[in-house]
């Protein structure tokens, strides 16, 4: 039976963009609900600057308080050595570094050029590896950039190579804007094929145009076996105008269940967790019914 690896990113990507502050206690309760639904990995939070993403300024407290499910990989986003210093004081299995496929997005999201960001990340990846952590390398705007438009697959391939040289274990291709369709996903994988196999990547889809599921199913045909999803479709990137929710994990899991593909995830539990968090965000008790 084919199995697909699911990384649940709602607690990080789903919450980072939410203007309404969620308490540490609610985040912990949410992550514990996500853990109980059984995804392979949970991206818990982010050690970015709290000036940039105030919602996730309590990263260390959240990690100190969650209940870890044996076998689940717990990770967090890290943008620089300062973030890594904070992360290393917590119990983590994995970190995720991130770089943008375009210069404009790199400036907006991380206040530096692509070259500067890769230079910042070199010691982060090296030190994380020394500490025994797995390292994911995200490439944002792998399909389209809000400022520069369509992104050439070759630009993504070059960044894959740079991240592999730095020592990341896994490449995560982010369709930050949710602009992909199955054809652009196929062109992306064709374009990066001489540097990395689809099976060594994770695909991170946003659902702006309602085509994320179609893209994921197409990517499976190409050999991709690992996807990010966000419970309840929560999410978006604060520095990418017009990027709404991520692909809802439960939507992906149900589509895979229907095809006899195993994820180990309980879609119903995950959906309930997403609904619960939406209720915290909107204060709408109807969201729980």
Q: Which residues belong to the active site?
A: 237
Q: Which is nearer to ligand HMG, 89 or 183 (CB)?
A: 89
Q: How many CB atoms lie within 10 A of CB 226?
A: 21
Strand partners of residue 172: 138, 202
Q: Are strands 5-8 and 226-229 parallel, antiparallel or unpaired?
A: parallel
**95 to 154, contacts with ligand HMG by CB under 6 A?**
98, 109-111, 138, 140
CB-based burial, 229-256: b 16+ in 10 Å, e otherwise: bbbbbbbbbbbbeebbbbbbbbbbbbbb
Q: What are the tokens at 237?
A: 């990137």
Q: What angle do CA 270, 275, 277 make, to 5 degrees?
A: 95
Stretch that binds Mg ion, among 12-20, 46-54, 60-68, 212-220 (CB under 5 A): 12-20
Least distance to ligand HMG, CB of residue 137, Å: 10
Could you give the 3-state DSSP secondary structure of residue 193? Answer: coil
CA distance 218 to 224: 9
For residue 72, what are its two tokens? 């689940």
Piece of 23-31, 78-86, 184-192, 272-280 that binds ligand HMG (CB under 6 A):
78-86
CB of 146 to Mg ion, least distance (A): 13
Among 6, 8, 10, 13, binds Mg ion (CB under 5 A): 13
82 binds, among ligand HMG, Mg ion, none (CB under 5 to 8 A by kind): ligand HMG
The two three-digit tokens of residue 182, written as one number: 């199955």
If binding means CB under 6 A, how many residues of this protein chain bind ligand HMG? 27
53 or 129: CB nearest Mg ion = 53
Residues 30-49: x/- map of binding to ligand HMG (CB under 6 A)?
A: ----------------xxxx
Q: Which is nearer to Mg ion, 80 or 100 (CB)?
A: 100
- Token pair, residue 115, equals 């070259």
Residues that bind Mg ion (CB under 5 A): 13
């Amino acid at each position: 039976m084919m199995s697909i690896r699911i990384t649940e990113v709602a607690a990080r990507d789903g919450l980072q963009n939410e203007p309404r502050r969620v308490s540490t206690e609610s985040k912990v309760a949410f992550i514990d609900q996500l853990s109980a639904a059984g995804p392979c990995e949970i991206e818990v939070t982010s050690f970015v600057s709290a000036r940039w993403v105030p919602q996730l300024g309590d990263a260390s407290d959240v990690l100190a308080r969650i209940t870890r499910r044996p076998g689940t990989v717990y990770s967090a986003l890290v943008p620089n050595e300062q973030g890594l210093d904070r992360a290393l004081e917590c119990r983590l299995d994995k970190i995720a570094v991130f770089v943008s496929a375009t210069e404009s997005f790199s400036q907006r999201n991380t206040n530096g050029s692509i070259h500067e960001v890769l230079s910042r990340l070199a010691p982060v990846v090296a030190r994380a590896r020394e500490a025994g952590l797995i390292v994911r390398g995200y490439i944002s705007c792998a399909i389209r950039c809000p400022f520069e438009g369509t992104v050439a697959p070759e630009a993504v391939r070059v960044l894959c190579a740079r991240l592999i040289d730095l020592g990341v274990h896994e490449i995560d291709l982010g369709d930050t804007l949710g602009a992909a369709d199955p054809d652009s996903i196929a062109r992306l994988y064709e374009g990066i094929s001489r540097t990395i196999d689809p099976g060594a990547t994770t695909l991170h889809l946003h659902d702006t145009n309602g085509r994320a599921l179609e893209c994921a199913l197409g990517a499976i045909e190409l050999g991709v076996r690992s996807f990010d999803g966000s419970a309840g479709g929560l999410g978006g990137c604060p520095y990418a105008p017009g990027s709404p929710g991520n692909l809802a994990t439960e939507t992906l899991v149900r589509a895979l269940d229907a095809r006899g593909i195993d994820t180990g995830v309980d879609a119903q539990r995950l959906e309930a967790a997403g609904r619960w968090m939406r209720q915290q965000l909107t204060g709408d008790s109807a969201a729980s019914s």
